Structure 1
Amino acid sequence: MNSLLTILLLPFSWLYAAVLAGRNWLYDRGWKRSVAFAEVPVVSVGNLRVGGTGKTPHVAWLVAWLQARGQHPALLSRGYGRRTRGYRLATALDSAATVGDEPWQQFGQFGGTVPVAVSEDRAAGIRQLLADAPYSTAVVLDDAYQHRRVRPTINILLSEQQRPFYADHVLPAGRLRESRAGAARADAVIITKCAPDLSAAARAAITAQVHRYARPAVPVLFSGYDYGPPVPVPGTAAGLVAAPAGGSEVLLLTGIAQPGPLLAHLAAAGYRVAHHARFADHHAFTSAELAALAAQCQPGQCVLTTQKDAARLQEPALAASVADLPVFYIPITVRFLADGEARLASLLAPTFPLPAVG
């Protein structure tokens, strides 16, 4: 944002931050009710900044880690961008339109083996989710850092390395949902989208900045992405052609907050992006937009996209629009730097002990 505009908007940010600080103070003092769940541990993954910190792949890492510990996790999200209201447990009959693109991606990623539900009211949503999936031994809350009505067992805060919360302002002057002081609620802070060669000195400098707001003993961890080979998007013509390899000329379709890391990966892998159809985060693609993309697609070219965007492309209403387009998504997995994975595991392990043998 332009620095002059930022300065002009700061008074409005201060007012908004004051309102949110008052709300947080009421929760901290117990004057507004916050619910803890004795039935199962609740792990919240969220951020202070609007959009683009990598919540979905970190939630996937957490779910996989819990499964490896013999746990049976369930996922609860608000379901941002869906066209429904209230609580909803995802089934094979749902779509991004009914549960939201990220929950639908998570439902498909785990093959329907992990209960995935959406609810604006997380407290009511957890109760209903545990009733629907009583075998669950953990609930993972996706994007619930500001949802103070639920008091999580473990609170994980994400912050992008290139756009750290400690260098940002509250809306509208910046992109923070609340003041930097909100980091004090975190039990772990993960700096995301880091380059694999981020130096120890740089990590130490970032850690010092985070600890200006987070509690002193809270671990500050660093993560990046590993990108997999292109995967055909079901319902498209991708299954009829070979996956594009490095050196290929491709089209790129994104509806995410920060496509920069993906663009950097494609460039490093040798792909040449002939056309980038870029839309806002959670954008609901239309048939007209896909027709315009198809008009740009030359013989021999394929369309690359993200896994989250692929979830929205599988809307039944778009079936005819994508049937002749060869669309592949690039899968991503979280990779921790240095000893970050071991430190996060040591934080989680006391809450989720390995099952007894014998």
Structure 2
Amino acid sequence: MRIAYMVHLNMGPDSGVFKKIISQINVWLQYSDVKIFIITRCLDESIKKYYNFDSAIYTYQNRSIAYRSRITAFERAVNDIIAWNPDVIYTRQDHYYPPVKQLAINNALVIEVNTNFMKEVRMYSRLKWLYSLASSRIILSKAAGLVFVCSELAQEYQYRKYNKPYTLIGNGFPIEEVKTLPPNNTDTVRLVFIGQAGCSWHGVDKIIRLANLCPGWEFELIGISQSEIDGSAPTNLHLHGKLNRSQYEQILQISDCAIGTLALHRNGMKEASPLKVREYLAYGLPVIIAYEDTDFPNGASFLLKLPNCEDNIDNNIQLIQNFVNQWKGKRVPRNEVMHLSTWQKESKRLDFFRQVINRRNCSETNRD
């Protein structure tokens, strides 16, 4: 099987999305011929040192002529993908770019849906929301298949109305690449969060609120800097900005508990499978969340699930304190999270690719 992975990516090698894509392809390469086609405004050839497989990079300008430059980059990528002649093309849902239509018409295009795209876009740009409202059908209606990271998305009318073959695959993590960290045996209670600015559904403001309510605990925020929060941070909240894995592993090692997504309600959703939560669990950290996790439909002792609402911190402070204290000096058993492994997730994705290809081949045979 020959797989082209087309991705519009403006996050660097330390981002969860970049690491997810690399770990996906590393599994696919064990069974398939794979090439990644990256359209970007901020990455360059230097990123190739982070992986060892075939790739092509198409850059565009981040200026007033950015749209034309971006379209040109997509045109070049699409032409090269067609020339490479893959059996299936995989991509993440994005805004509509006209050159991609050619891929959807003439190839088996499979789209990964990571979020409620329309609701998320509406949160930050009404203009882009209107554009997507009018144009998203052009690609979705012609896709050969959809991959959802949670079942809630699969039930959304914006996708369901096209009646496309689909599969449900929650986000995974290459668990085998890291070791369960030893417990923090110091007297200090320390919580950690990994995220990025500009994502209101992460609930960073709620973590700040929790730090104010628990002055005896220490809070480590990775990926967030002082300039990216409103007001001043309490003295027990430490903002580290962007760190690479070797740097933030040291913080994870001295932490007792991790914090996942706390405000998914702001994104109009109740279910998710966040990458950061999979990473926390791979290292053995219990996690505080506020959503239904796709891979733990019945919950788990190492997941504290708060209500998915605006006041979930203030109304559950005792519950949070009890959970953290209960897990102090403990780690999550590795065998209870192995189903999150990238290997298991990607085996299912590859099976879906084969089904899509076979269905397309049968359809073409019947037309002949």
TM-score (norm 1): 0.43
Greater RCO (CA < 8 Å, at least 6 residues apart): 1
TM-score (norm 2): 0.42
- Structure with the larger helix share: 2
